[in-house]
């Protein structure tokens, strides 16, 4: 039975409906699913979401794809995305995402997944599709959006000036200031409008100033 399911489901990550479609010839498909879970042939990540067990896995499963499927609408952002882009030095274990739904967290057999609620207007800006081969892909914030989401999330910090913003980026997040020159400044402006955020506008101004200095040094201005 599991070999038949494995042939019909090419992905490593799949949902309950995909399982039912494979088991439609059985009288009690739920009992079959329970049996597969007991044997470890499949692993339940959360209700309605599964991966294949080690014995039947053809390739590594993607925690990023699981994050998109687990709770939506959502896409990966914040610390996990900042780590992905090499903007922060720390290794981030939890897969962090933003959503227009309620903030949630899920502890699963493959790690912790967290979701931070943001306004719809901010959610619409700065989303990218990351291809990982074999037609598989997941949604992740752009570098600028991931940093803006993190800056907006840390509501407890007081940032009233460029100096305080620089201090936060260097001391709290440990971001190399030279990495900021590659951020999309126009996109940051759009994100600031979506959030209606003064501190993100401040980040946009900082990036613009850094980019201007780089252009001056290179003789483009």
Mark whether 35 and 83 lie in a shared domain: no
Mark whether 181 and 103 lie in a shared domain: yes
Q: Which of 16, 41, 56 corresponds to the end of one domain? A: 56
pLDDT above 90 (res 187): yes
Say if 220 falls within a structural domain: no
pLDDT of residue 156: 74
Band of pLDDT at residue 219, cut at 50, 70 and 90: low
What's the per-residue H, E or C state across 60-102?
A: CCCHHHHHHHHCCCEEECHHHHHHHCCCCCCCCCCEEEEECCC
Say if 30 falls within a structural domain: yes
Say if 209 falls within a structural domain: yes
pLDDT of residue 158: 81
Mark whether 45 and 75 lie in a shared domain: no
**How far does Cα 175 stand from its chain's mean position?**
19
pLDDT of residue 19: 95
Say if 173 falls within a structural domain: yes
Q: Which of 41, 56, 71 corresponds to the end of one domain? A: 56
7-33: average pLDDT = 93
**What are 127-167's pLDDT values in tens digits?**
999 999 888 999 999 999 999 999 999 987 888 888 899 99
Mean of all residue pLDDT scores within the chain: 94
Mark whether 6 and 94 lie in a shared domain: no
pLDDT of residue 21: 94
**What are 36-58's pLDDT values in tens digits?**
999 999 999 999 999 999 999 99
Percent of the chain with pLDDT over 90: 84
Mark whether 38 and 109 lie in a shared domain: no
pLDDT above 70 (res 221): no
pTM of the full structure = 0.91
Say if 221 falls within a structural domain: no
pLDDT of residue 40: 97
Say if 111 falls within a structural domain: yes
pLDDT of residue 50: 98
pLDDT of residue 220: 57
**Tokens standing for 191?**
């994100």
Mark whether 142 and 34 lie in a shared domain: no
Mark whether 207 and 139 lie in a shared domain: yes
pLDDT of residue 137: 96
Mark whether 46 and 75 lie in a shared domain: no
**What are 65-76's pLDDT values in tens digits?**
999 999 999 999
Mark whether 209 and 108 lie in a shared domain: yes
Mark whether 52 and 78 lie in a shared domain: no
| Residue ranges making up the domain that contains 89 | 63-215
Mark whether 115 and 40 lie in a shared domain: no
Say if 35 falls within a structural domain: yes
**What are 69-103's pLDDT values in tens digits?**
999 999 999 999 999 999 999 899 999 999 999 99
Q: Which residue intervals of 9-161 are DSSP H helices?
A: 16-22, 29-39, 63-70, 78-84, 120-123, 143-153
* Domain count within the chain: 2
Mark whether 48 and 98 lie in a shared domain: no
Say if 51 falls within a structural domain: yes
pLDDT above 60 (res 180): yes
* Residue environment code for 85-100, b if the CB has 16+ CB neighbours within 10 A, otherwise e: bebbeeeeebbbbbbb
């Amino acid at each position: 039975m599991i070999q038949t399911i494995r042939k019909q489901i090419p992905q490593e990550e799949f949902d309950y409906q995909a399982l039912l479609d494979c088991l439609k010839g059985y009288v009690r498909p739920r009992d079959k699913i329970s049996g597969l879970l007991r044997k470890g042939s499949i692993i339940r990540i959360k209700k309605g979401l599964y991966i294949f067990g080690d014995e039947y896995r053809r390739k590594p499963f993607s925690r990023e794809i699981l994050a998109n499927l687990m709770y939506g609408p959502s896409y990966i952002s914040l610390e996990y995305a900042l780590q992905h882009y090499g903007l922060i030095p720390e290794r981030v274990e939890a897969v962090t995402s933003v959503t227009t739904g309620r903030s949630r967290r899920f502890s699963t057999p493959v790690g912790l997944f967290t979701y931070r609620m943001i306004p719809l207007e901010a959610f619409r800006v700065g989303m990218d599709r990351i291809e990982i081969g074999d037609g598989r892909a997941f949604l992740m914030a752009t570098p600028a959006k991931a940093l803006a989401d993190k800056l907006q999330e840390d509501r407890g910090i007081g940032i009233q000036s460029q100096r305080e913003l620089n201090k936060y980026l260097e001391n709290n997040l440990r971001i190399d200031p030279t990495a900021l020159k590659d951020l999309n400044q126009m996109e940051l402006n759009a994100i600031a409008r979506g959030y209606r955020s003064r501190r993100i506008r401040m980040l946009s101004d900082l990036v613009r100033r850094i980019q201007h200095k780089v252009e001056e040094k290179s003789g483009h201005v």
